[in-house]
Structure 1
Amino acid sequence: MVDHLIAFATSHYLLVGAFVVLLALLIAHEVSRGGRSLSTGELTALVNKDQAVVVDLRPVKDFAAGHIVGALNIPQDKLIARIAELEKHKAKTIILVDAQGQHSGGHARELMKSGFTAAKLSGGISSWRADNLPLVK
């Protein structure tokens, strides 16, 4: 199997090279798309130093079932309409949290366009749960 892969790569080096370049561009685009991606430890450190505010983008029902201590709940479909509520936190990093970390990047980009410092929790609330960190109801 590996022999076939090597044979293909050597005989189609331009095709393989184009694939590698496109893959690198896709990865770079996804990384730059929504600001910094934070681990659960980085989020905790920023919040403990009072340098960040957590905004949970999940629906109210999911937020009520369990959320990070001190998090504000602004459902993702209402974030832009309620951006004025975040003005008092503009000096801090706004850390966006969603269910699995898939949607918060685009919203972080919108906040950065509005002059906020924004980041997202890598893996969303799922990574928080996976690290056995506490949730409040």
Structure 2
Amino acid sequence: MSSPGFKQHVNAQFALIAQALASPQRLEILDYLAQTERSVEELSQLANLTVANTSRHLQILKQAALVNVRTDGKRRCYRLTGDDVVQLIASLRRTAELHLAEVERLAHTYLTDKQAMEAISAEELLTRIQRDEVTVLDVRPQAEYAAGHIPGAIHLLPEEVAERLHELDDSKTIVAYCRGPYCVYSYQMVQALRGHGINAVRLVDGLPEWKAAGLPVYTTPT
């Protein structure tokens, strides 16, 4: 039998992870890092936090081994320690969706009417890519697209649809994806395309979940 001391010590280590995740700001930071490596200053701007506050959150995440850091001159750049961190957050999200009614209420409040939009799974998208049945759009910022995207995906932002509509093959279904299931960019893209009479759906998850599932990712050469 294991001693109570061992269980207490190992549970304390597990609790480090739980404590690191117990902050909406740190979850947001992890979401940005799931897209690409970023500096403290970049994360500060994205999360609308001071640099000092961002640094404190990153130190907590680093102590829990959820992120690591490298030095690039005077810049300190952070990244996730592995795709398992993405899977951990996805598991947390699914549990919250199953057991917290407030999650569904918030989704209906902030994603009004968008909830009915058709979404396809990563497995279905991969099959349809292999059959050449779809055009895939990555609607995240350019830097995130360059850091990694679904092979063959076109980078296009919702506000660019009208001027770049001629670039899209409307004989195929268009599938838009962004940072994750609660990222509004893919919803906005589907709305914009449907407004032009184009058949469009969204990927149910985002690029981090696609990559964490071991599916192919292409990086734009620098």
Alignment partner, residue 16 of structure 1? none
1:112 CA displacement: 1.2
Q: Which residue of 2 aligns with 1:93?
A: 173
Of residues 115, 124, 130, the one that matches 1:31 is 115
Partner of 1:111: 193
C-alpha separation in 1, matches of 2:194 and 2:207: 22
Letter in 2 for 1:65: A
| Cα shift at 1:28 | 8.2
Q: Which residue of 1 aligns with 2:62?
A: none
- C-alpha distance in structure 1 between counterparts of 2:153 and 2:114, whole Å: 26
Cα offset, 1:54, TM superposition: 0.5
**Structure with higher RCO (Cα < 8 A, 6+ apart):** 1
How far apart, in 1, do the equivalents of 2:114 and 2:172 lie? 24
- Greater mean alpha carbon deviation, residues 107-116 or residues 73-82: 73-82
Residue 136 (structure 1) aligns with: 218
**What corresponds to 1:64 in structure 2?**
146
Q: What value does the CA root-mean-square deviation take over the aligned residues?
A: 2.3
Match of 2:204 among 122, 128, 131: 122
d(CA) in 1 for partners of 2:188, 2:157: 14
With normalisation by structure 1, the TM-score equals 0.71
Contact 1:60–1:75 (CA under 8 A) maintained in structure 2: no
Q: Which amino acid aligns with 1:81?
A: E
Q: 1:29 to 1:94 in 2, by over 3 A?
A: same
Displaced runs of 4 or more, over 6 A:
none
Deviations 1:4-40 (A, max 9, x none): xxxxxxxxxxxxxxx9xxx6xx3883422xx311110
Structure 2 alignment gaps of length 5 or more: 1-100
State the one-letter code of the partner of 1:133. L
5+ unaligned residues in a row in structure 1: which ranges? 1-18
**Percent of matched pairs sharing the same residue:** 28
Count of matched residue pairs: 111
Q: Deviations over 1:35-82 (max 9, x none)?
A: 311110011111111110101111221111111111111134423332
- Partners of 1:59 and 1:75 in 2: CA distance: 8
SS of the aligned residue for 1:80 comes to helix
8 Å CA contact 2:119–2:204 kept in 1: the answer is: yes
